[in-house]
Each structure stands twice: as C-alpha cells, then as structure tokens.
C-alpha cells in the first residue's frame, strides 16, 4: 500500500496519514495537508466500508476501551495501575473539551 491511515483513539482522538512512497521511515504526518485531501477521503471511505462489512463501529470500540479502563482501575489488568488510568481519563476529558 502506498498510504497508511492511522487512528489513535485510546487516549486522544487523532489521525495520521503516511505517504509510504515519499516517507518510507514514516516520520511525517500528512493528514492535514491539503494536497492529500482526496487520498484521505478515499481511505476514510474504504475504512468505513470495511467497518460495515465486518460489523465494527466506533461505539463498539469505545465500549471495549471503557471496559478496559474500568477493569484497569479496579486492578484487574496487569501492568496498568490506577494512576495511569486516571492520567488517561484526564487526557481524554482534555481532548473532548477542545
């Protein structure tokens, strides 16, 4: 594939678009570059088609993230302590309030 579309949704709701031909080391995010608008829209359309095909949606993803945070906060997830969960929740609130 010539391009890579990445969605970070655990802590922040951020997107990256990488032009793998021009940037094989994947160092430059061109998601907001107007020159890539058509490519970005096409990749989002294709992603949505796959999500429909495989019955995946952001609400379901968010449900699992919320459950993971709840389990981690209750000490049920190895390697994630309560302080880390609180930091993640605070960062998510910060992003939501932008």
Per the CB < 8 A criterion, the answer to whether 31 and 14 are in contact is no
SS3 15: strand
What is the mean pLDDT, run by run of 10 residues, along the chain of 98 residues? 87 88 98 98 94 80 82 85 82 75
Residues 7 and 49 in one domain: yes
Residues 36 and 63 in one domain: no
Residue in 10, 5, 7 with CA at minimum distance from that of residue 66: 10
Residues 69 and 42 in one domain: no
Which pLDDT value is given to residue 10? 65
Which pLDDT value is given to residue 85? 82
Residues 44 and 63 in one domain: no
Residues 45 and 84 in one domain: no
Residues 23 and 41 in one domain: yes
Task: Provide the whole-model pTM.
Answer: 0.63
Range of the domain at 32: 3-53
Which pLDDT value is given to residue 55? 83
Residues 46 and 66 in one domain: no
Which pLDDT value is given to residue 78? 84
- For the chain, what is the domain count? 2
């Amino acid at each position: 594939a010539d391009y890579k579309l990445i969605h970070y949704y655990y802590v922040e709701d951020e997107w990256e678009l990488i032009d793998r031909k021009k940037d094989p080391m994947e160092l430059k995010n061109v998601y907001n570059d107007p020159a890539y608008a058509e490519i970005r829209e096409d990749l989002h359309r294709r992603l949505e088609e796959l999500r429909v095909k495989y019955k995946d949606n952001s609400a379901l993803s968010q449900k699992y993230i919320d459950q993971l945070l709840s389990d981690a906060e209750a000490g049920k997830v190895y390697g994630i302590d309560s302080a880390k969960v609180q930091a993640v929740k605070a960062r998510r609130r910060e992003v939501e309030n932008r």
